[in-house]
Structure 1
Amino acid sequence: MSSTVIPCLRYADAPAAIDFLCTAFGFQRQVVYESSAHPGLIDHAQLTYGDGMIMLGSVRDDTPFSRHMVQPRDVGGRQTQCACVTVADVRAHYDAAKAAGAEIVDDYEEKDYGGAGYSARDPEGYLWYFGSYDPWAPATT
């Protein structure tokens, strides 16, 4: 087993979101299940980054789980959490995300506690943090 905590997201345009997340942020498609009942919608997708994973699907109002979710645009872009992704080369990741059109909300910065990082939003407003700080690594102090 790799990742035991897996963020789950919903996108109004899930196919475009998958393309963006792979191009701008470096995720890889593990599996994408298109809806047979609703052409153009994604029932379930799994994207990986290293040992991590996110799952996502299209925004729908016809499932019991739908009533528990809102989109960032529905709450003024604010979020109660964001995914934190550890990347090997933050500067290169930042440059690639910026070139692909990611909205950079906190520029690349070297952190006092170690590592470097930046924050960005995807086209549907989800907030992401990418950094080199590895919370699993043994403390150096």
Structure 2
Amino acid sequence: MTDNFTGSRLISCLGYKDADAALEWLVRAFGFEARAVYRNEAGKVVHAELTFVNGMIMLGPDGGGEFGKMVMTLPERAGGRCTQSIYVIVDNVDSHFARASAAGAETVIAPRGESYGGCSYSVRDPEGHTWSFGSYDPWAHPPIG
């Protein structure tokens, strides 16, 4: 490990039928920043790294290869259900929800208070991945147990 590491060591990876459109939408709707985008000879995204504060997701086209044989990354291939859900800590839940809604995110759970603290909401992106955003910061609380 490097002593000056500042990012998260857990990085979620998502597959999309249209990785180019997903990249643009996630930046516009959720406020991610494109850190690195790798394209093939035809100019299509083959791998992208998007950051949000010190967190990161990676995305690319859902497809074959060894990794594609092990995981199901498209909700439509899993009967509309997701194989993972991502939670992102935001400073202002209501304004973030308004931004996501304006970009066309499908509301799954409207903003609400949580019994464990904070407020959160959940939406689906255009390809059906479920995202949750909230003000609850589990790092700010001591572990229990």
Question: TM-score under structure 1 normalisation?
Answer: 0.91
What letter matches 2:83 in structure 1?
Answer: T
**Aligned equivalents of 2:135, 2:49: Cα separation in 1:** 23
1:86 lines up with 2:114 in the alignment:
no
**Aligned equivalents of 1:138, 1:115: Cα separation in 2:** 12
Q: Measured at CA, do residues 11 and 48 of structure 1 come closer, stay the same or move farther in structure 2, by a change above 3 Å? A: same
What letter matches 2:67 in structure 1?
Answer: F
Q: Identity of paired residues, percent?
A: 47
Select which of 36, 39, 56 maps to 1:31.
36
Q: State the shift of 1:138 in Å.
A: 2.9
Aligned to 2:80, the other structure's residue is in SS state coil
Contact kept? 1:41, 1:58, Cα under 8 Å: no
Aligned to 2:8, the other structure's residue is in SS state coil
**Aligned equivalents of 1:7, 1:89: Cα separation in 2:** 23
Q: State the shift of 1:129 in Å.
A: 0.6
**Structure 1: gaps (5+ residues):** none
Contact kept? 1:25, 1:93, Cα under 8 Å: yes
**Aligned equivalents of 1:13, 1:80: Cα separation in 2:** 18
Aligned to 1:43, the other structure's residue is in SS state strand
CA deviation profile, 1:1-29 (whole Å, cap 9, x unmatched): 21010000111100100111011111110
Q: State the shift of 1:108 in Å.
A: 0.6
Q: State the shift of 1:75 in Å.
A: 1.1
**Structure 2: gaps (5+ residues):** none
| Cα RMSD for the two superposed structures | 1.2
1:64 lines up with 2:74 in the alignment:
no
**Aligned equivalents of 2:39, 2:30: Cα separation in 1:** 22
Q: State the shift of 1:113 in Å.
A: 1.8
Residue in structure 2 matched with residue 110 of structure 1 by the alignment: 113
Q: Measured at CA, do residues 126 and 15 of structure 1 come closer, stay the same or move farther in structure 2, by a change above 3 Å? A: same
Residue in structure 1 matched with residue 19 of structure 2 by the alignment: 14
Question: TM-score under structure 2 normalisation?
Answer: 0.89
1:120 lines up with 2:129 in the alignment:
no
Q: Measured at CA, do residues 83 and 98 of structure 1 come closer, stay the same or move farther in structure 2, by a change above 3 Å? A: same
Aligned to 2:111, the other structure's residue is in SS state strand
Contact kept? 1:9, 1:57, Cα under 8 Å: yes
